[in-house]
Amino acid sequence: MGLTPITIGYVPLLDAVVLIAAQEQGFAEAEGLEFDLVRETSWANIRDRVAIGHFDLAHMLAPMPLSANLGLTPLDAQMIAPMALGLGGNAVTVSNAVWEQMRGAGAGPGVDAWQAGLALKRVIAARAKNGSPRLRLAVVHPESGHNYELRYWLAASGIDPRHDVEIVIVPPSFQPDALAAGRIDGYCVGEPFNSVAAARGTGRIVTTKSSIWRSSPEKVLGTRLQWAERYPERLGAILRAVTRAARWSGDPANREALARMLAREDRLGVSDAILMRALTGDLMLGGGENLKVDDFFIPYERAANFPWQSHALWFYAQMVRWGQVSHSVGNAQIAARTYRPDLYRAALAGMGMAVPSANAKIEGALVEPTALGAQEGMLTLGPDGFFDGTQFDPDELDAYIAAQSELPAQ
């Protein structure tokens, strides 16, 4: 009997690695599947090609299935996220000119989110005082972890992302060129495109996703609800194959093989040296400065593949905060139901892999790695703190949204 073909769209980014590894290392074949991985340039293309059925599943921005179900997308398609594709992997990069201004305003070495945010606040205030244009910062999509973490960081640093800066949309692979050409002043993107600018000498990484929110979600495996209900056995096999690939990808012994795999021109087309930095967290920040960033990208550990409904609700809270959707009990329920831990748990039953038994957790509560019981064993979660010390309790959603309605005093 032949292999079942599965068409999966992806954007050439570091966190597509688990899908690529699933095909290249035989994990898909072991489940009777053949992944046809189709590279796309923009997240809008990914979203629309899943919606119309060109792709069975896709490497998706974590908030994207929510935005589809909440009516924020041009095509009517109910989507689900039965699996996450890792934690972390993003950073914020600014032009050399902005970095020099930030250094003059107190930014030091490293990627500390507080220090960088307060320095940027001083730069923005000085620019406003002398009549300079607002800084233009790029994100990859309006409903993206990049947009929400950038806005969260800015707001917590006393910068109003609605008025103090201009936020624009630029596809990931175009951002380094846009920065070098002076069309944007900075961006928030996934690797390897922060490291690309740093290696070219055209930008400086000032903070990372893991500095803003440790162990935080970034991409999911998304599909149409209709497809998942029509092919439940295929979906289960896919989740098993990709989880095994994630475990393999998380093994430090496999990083060189991963870097070579991703570097191929038909995959990411970026040098394996740059990719090794992203995989190890040994980042080239720019200007000759290197830094080892712990937990920069986590493909498997800390339940990195589990679709926590608390993650879905945090993204929903950001959509409400920035005026993309109105808050209601119904909308919150739609957001939570979009992430499907039940499907993930069922697919992995009997595999000997520890899977959380809860569907949600308080985000930001763990200050150190914490062991807890799980389906089929023990697992370790956290640390998962936000840089400003806040916590998100999904059972207190109304209070959290109300507290975020105004910018914090600085």
pLDDT at 338: 99
Strand partners, 383: none
pLDDT at 410: 44
Residue 156 lies in a domain: yes
Could you tell me the CA-to-CA distances from 55 to 10, 17, 62, 221, 227 in Å, in that order?
Answer: 10, 18, 17, 12, 10
Rounded CA separation 344/42 (Å): 27
pLDDT at 270: 96
* pTM for this predicted structure: 0.97
Rounded CA separation 113/103 (Å): 14
Residue 104 lies in a domain: yes
Strand 219-224 relative to strand 33-39, pairing: unpaired
pLDDT at 407: 55
Residue 135 lies in a domain: yes
Residue 96 lies in a domain: yes
pLDDT at 372: 84
How far from the centroid of its chain's Cα atoms is residue 63's Cα? 9
List of residues 6+ apart from 81 with CB closer than 8 A: 60, 62, 65, 220, 221, 222, 307, 312, 338, 339, 340
Residue 233 lies in a domain: no
pLDDT at 409: 41
Range(s) of the domain holding residue 172: 90-212
Residue 150 lies in a domain: yes
Mean pLDDT by 10 residues, the chain (410 residues): 95 98 99 99 97 98 99 95 99 99 96 98 98 98 99 98 98 98 99 98 99 98 99 99 99 97 97 97 96 97 98 99 98 99 97 94 96 84 97 98 71
Domain count for the chain, please give it: 1
Q: Where do runs of H (alpha helix) occur along 105-162?
A: 113-129, 145-156
**CATH, residue 160:** 3.40.190.10
Residue 110 lies in a domain: yes
Rounded CA separation 114/154 (Å): 10
Could you tell me the CA-to-CA distances from 39 to 7, 26, 66, 112, 255 in Å, in that order?
Answer: 11, 19, 22, 33, 22
